[in-house]
A and B are shown apart, each in its own frame.
Chain A
Amino acid sequence: MAESKQSAELTEVQKKIRATFEAFDYEFNNTVDVREIGTIIYALGCFPSQKDLHDFIAQVEEDHTGWIHLDKFLPAMTEVLLEHKFPPIPEDLVLQAFEVLDKEKKGYLDPEELTKYMTQEGEPFTQVEMDEMLTAHADHEKNCICYKDLISQLTIDPDL
C-alpha cells in the first residue's frame, strides 16, 4: 500500500507542477520562457539560491533557445519537490535573521539600514525590489520596518 500512496503523492505533485507551469505558458504549447522559471519554482514553494537556479535551468533549458519545455521541466521539478531540494524557510528563522540585522535590538529596522543590508549583502536586491519592499511594507508614519509585523503580513497571504 506504500506504493499506491507514493504514486498518489506523485500524481498530486505532478498536477501541481503542471498547473503552475501552465500559468506561464502563454503560447499554449507546453513551453515557458526561461526567465519565468525562478517565479515558477518559487511559486511551488521552493527556495533555490541563484546558483541552484542556474544549475536547474542548465538542466532543463532547450539548448539555449530561451525556452523550457514541460517534458524536461516536469521530471526535474518532480524530483526537486519529492526530495525537498530547496526547502522553504520557516517564519521563526526569518525572525531570527531579522534580529541578526537589528544590531541595536530596537525591534524594528530603519529603511536605510534595511536598504544597506538588502542591496549590499547576500544576494542583493535590485533597486526595483528594494523600492517595492519599502513602499509596501514600511510603516510610513514611524518611518521604520517592524519586521515582526512584516513577517506575519506576508505569511498570512492566502496559499495558492
Chain B
Amino acid sequence: MGCGTSVATEIQGKKVETGDAAILIQRWYRRYVARLEMRRRYTWNIFQSIEYAGEQDQLQLSSFFSFMLDNFTQLNGNGPDLISQLLDPVVDPWLDRDTCYNLIPVPESYTGPRLSFPLSISDTNALLSAFKEQQTLHARYVLQLLYETKKLLKQMPNIIHLSTSYTKEITICGDLHGRLDDLLLIFYKNGLPSAETPYVFNGDFVDRGKKSIEVVILLFAYLLLYPDYMHLNRGNHEDHIMNLRYGFTKEVMQKYKTHSREILQLFQDIFSLLPVATVIDGKILIVHGGISEQTDLDFLSSIERHKVKSALRFPRHSLEQLDISQSSRQTKIMRSTDSFCSSSSHSKNQKTPNLSRQDSATSTSSSSSSSSSSTSSLCSPRTPSCLSPRPSPSSLNVPYNINVLQVPFLDSLSSISVPSPPQHEREWKQIVDILWSDPKMQEGCSPNTFRGGGCYFGPDITQRLLLQHGLQLLIRSHECKQEGYELCHGGQVITIFSASNYYEEGSNRGAYIKVGRELVPRFYQYQVSRTTRRLTLTQRVRAAEGSALKALKEKLFSHRTELMAGFQQYDQNNTGTVSVSEWALVLEAGLRLDLPWRTLRPHLSRLAPDGSVEYQSCFEDMGPGIPLPQVTPNLADTLFRYRTDIEIIFNIIDKDHSGLISTEEFRNTWRLFSAHLGVDIDDRAIDDLARSIDFNKDGSIDFTEFLEAFRVVHKLDSKDQQFNGKTFQ
C-alpha cells in the first residue's frame, strides 16, 4: 500500500510510544472530520444553489404578472383586480385617511394586544408576549401601526447618520427572514431596544420564515416607540414582488383573510420608504447588499427612494435601448436545445461538458450569453438570454411549436400598457446595487448574474468607496454565513447574518455586531435550537445534508421528463444505464445547478454491477402527494416545478379566500401561464385537467386539493407515507 514513510509500518508488531499511537488516532479522526466537513460544504452548496435558482424563478413570476396585465387586465371582470393593484398600485385615497383603521371593528372576543398610539413600552411588551404565545395582532392594529410607520418613514432621509457619542454601543443585526425565535433570542441576549441599547437592522426582515409579520410588526413598533434608537435599512426582500414568491404575501393573506389587500398595500409603500443606508460616526457604512463602482453616497442621499418600489420593476425608458435584433438571433440558437427549461437560464448556447467551471465572474447559473449585457452600462436585472416571439392576444390557444426558454422580464415590460412610475435609470441602479450586490475576491465590478441584480464588487471597489467618503468599514448582510458573520476585503467588509439555522436545523449560526466609540466591531453568535443539548458536528451535518438532499431530489423529480429524455439520448440500447460522467452531464444540463454531482451520486442514484448508473433510480423514492389526475408527463413536471408560483396565483385570484376558483378562471390562468412559459400543452389537456379536478362538477375547483397532487412526497419519509396504497421498496 504505501512506501516507507508511513507511520503504519512503524507500529506493526513493534512496541510503540504513546506519542506514535496518539498521532495515528489523531490523523485517523481528522480524516473523519475532514470528510464531514466536505459533506457540510456540498450540503451548503446545494442549499445556496437552489436558493439562488429560486430567486431567479422569481423574475419569471413577475414577468408573468406583467404578461397577464398586458393581455388580461381584469381576470374577473369586476374592477381592477389584485394583480394590477399589486403591480401598479393606484394610491388608494382611503388608505391615506387616518380613519381607515378606525372603521374596522375589534370584537370583544379578541384577546390579543390592543395598541394605543402613540405607542408606549407596555404596548411593545404586550406585542412581545402575544407573539411568544402565537397570537395574531388584529388587522385594525396592524393597519394603524403600518399607517403610523409610513408617516414616520416619510420624514426620514435616505441615509441615516448615527453617532456613538450619545449612546453606548450600537448593535447591528443582519437578515432575519421571518425568524421570530432569532429576534427574540437577540433581544434576550442583548436587551430590548432602548436608549442604552440602540439597534440597526440591516434588511430582509420578511420572506422565507413563517413569522415575517410578527418580526416586522415588532421592528416597526420599536421604531415608532424609539425612532432615535431603532434604525431599519431596506433589504432586497423588502419588495412586494419578491414577497409574492418568497412567502410574505402568502403569510399575510393567510393570517389576514379580510384585510390582506390593504395590509399588503401599506407594506409595499413602507418598504420603499425604508432608508437604504446607515452611517455610524461618518466611518461605518451599513447597507443590505453592497456597492458598485457607481455607488455615490451623495447622489444616493438625493434621490427619491420611494419611487423604486421594486428592484424587479425596471425603469421604462431603458427598455428602448434593448437590442431586440440581438435577442432574436439568440432565439434561433436556443431552438435546437431540448424542451422545457426552467427560468434560471444558463449559457445554453455554450453547452460543452466543462461548462460548469468558468473562470470569469459571470459564471454558474445565470447566463450572460448576450453580449449586450456586458457592453451596456446598466446593470439590468436579467440579461435576456433569449426572447420568445411575442404572443398575440388572439393566439392564446395556439400551442407553441418552438421550444423556447422563458419570456424574460424585460421583454414583457416593453409592451406594458400600464405605465410604471417614471424613474431615472441611474437612481434605480443606485438603489438596486445597494440592495443586491455581493462582495467578491476578484478586483473590479461586474454584473451579478447569479442573482440577476446588483453587482459583484471587488476589494478595489470597496477601497475606493471607503476612501472617497472617508469611511473605514462596510457592514452588509444578504448572504448566509456558516458562523453568522464573515470578513472579507482585508477586513474592510463584514457580512452579518442573523437568521440561524437558515437552511436547516444546525446549518449555521446567527450573529450580531456591537460597536462602540472606538469603532471596533465585536461579534456575538447564537443558534436557536429545538433541543437543549448542543448538536455535534455529525448530527448537524446529517440533518442539514438530509434536508438538502431532499430538496435536491425534489428538483430532480420535477424535471423528470426532461432528464429522462436526456438519459435516453445516451442510452440508445435501452439498457437503463449510463456512465457516471454521462449521468452528471445530463443533470448539469437539465437542472442548471452547479453542484458536485459525482460526489452526490451515491445519494441520488444506484449503480449497476458494472459501475454504471441506473438512471431510473433517481426518481424511485418519490411520488405525488395524492393520486395524480390524468396528465401528460410534461404537464405534470411543470406543475411540480411551479407549484408554489401557481399557488400564489390561485390565491390572488381567489379574492374571497374560499379556497375555490371557477373552472373558467382556472382554465384561463393555466393557459396563460403555460403559454408564457412556452410549454407545449394543448387546450384539451387543460380542459381535461380542469374537468377531472372539479370533483363536485359544480364549476369550481378546490385548488388546495389540486395542488396537493403536485406536492412531491418522499416515499421513505415517515411523514409522507400515505402513498395511495402502493407498496414501495
Which A residues lie at the B interface, using CB under 8 A? 15-16, 19-20, 22-25, 27-30, 38-43, 45, 47, 49, 83-90, 93-94, 96-98, 100-101, 117-118, 121-125, 129, 132-133, 135-136, 154, 157-160
Complex contacts, A43 vs chain B, CB 8 Å: 34-35, 37-38
Q: Chain B nearest CB: distance from A14 CB in Å? A: 12
- Is B440 in contact with A47, judged by CB distance below 8 angstroms? no
Question: Across the interface, do A157 and B32 meet the contact criterion of CB distance under 8 Å?
Answer: yes
> Given A23, A93, A98, A100, which contacts B12 in the complex, CB threshold below 8 Å?
A93
- Supposing A87-B2, A121-B19 touch, asked if A96 and B11 sit within 8 A by C-beta, the answer is yes
The binding surface of chain B is classed by DSSP as helix
User: In the bound complex, how far is the Cα of B440 from the Cα of A97, in angstroms?
Assistant: 45
Shortest Cβ distance from A42 into B: residue: B34
Chain A proximity of B584: nearest CB distance (Å): 9
Tell me if B598 counts as interface (CB < 8 A to partner A): yes
B33 touches A129 (CB 8 A): yes
CA distance A58 to B513 in the complex (A): 36
- Asked whether, in the complex, the Cβ of A101 is within 8 Å of the Cβ of B12, the reply is no
Instruction: Give A7 to B682 CA distance when docked, in angstroms.
Output: 51
Across the interface, which residues of A come within 8 angstroms of B418, CB to CB? none
Contact of B628 with A by CB under 8 A:
no
In the complex, what distance in Å separates the CA atom of A93 from the CA atom of B23? 12
Instruction: Closest A residue to B13 by CB, please name it.
Output: A96
A28 and B18: CB pair below 8 A? no
Task: Report the number of A-B residue pairs with Cβ-Cβ less than 8 Å.
Answer: 155
Residues of B570-599 whose CB lies within 8 A of A:
581, 594, 596, 598-599
Q: Are the CB atoms of B25 and A123 closer together than 8 Å?
A: no
In the assembled complex, the Cα of A157 lies from the Cα of B539 at a distance in Å of: 13
CB pair A132 B8 closer than 8 Å = no
B599 touches A23 (CB 8 A): yes
Chain B interface residue number, banded? 35 or more
Chain A's closest residue to B36 (CB) is A157
Q: Return chain A residues, CB-CB under 8 Å to B38.
A: 20, 23, 39-40, 43, 160
Q: How far is the CA of A89 from the CA of B364 in the complex (A)?
A: 38
A42 vs B358: C-alpha distance when bound (angstroms): 26
**B residues less than 8 Å from A25 (CB atoms):** 357
Q: Does B125 belong to the interface (CB within 8 Å)?
A: no
With a CB–CB cut-off of 8 A, which chain B residues contact A45?
A: 31
Residue from the list B7, B440, B598, B599 in contact with A89, Cβ < 8 A: B7
- B residues in contact with A39, CB < 8 Å: 34, 37-38
Q: Contact at A132–B33, with CB atoms within 8 Å?
A: yes
Q: Beyond A43-B35, A122-B21, A136-B537: 4 further Cβ-contacts under 8 Å? A: A28-B357, A87-B2, A96-B11, A122-B20
Choose from A83, A101, A158 the contact partner of B21 (Cβ within 8 Å). A101
Contact check, B35 vs A160: say whether CB atoms are below 8 A apart: yes
The interface residues of chain A lying within 8 Å CB-to-CB of B103 are none
CB-CB under 8 A from A88, the residues of chain B are 31
Residues of B within 8 A of A123 (CB): 22-23, 26-27
Q: What is the CB-to-nearest-CB distance from A111 to chain B, in angstroms, rounded to a whole number?
A: 14
With A30-B359, A136-B536, A154-B32 already in contact, the answer to whether A15 and B598 are too (CB < 8 A) is: yes
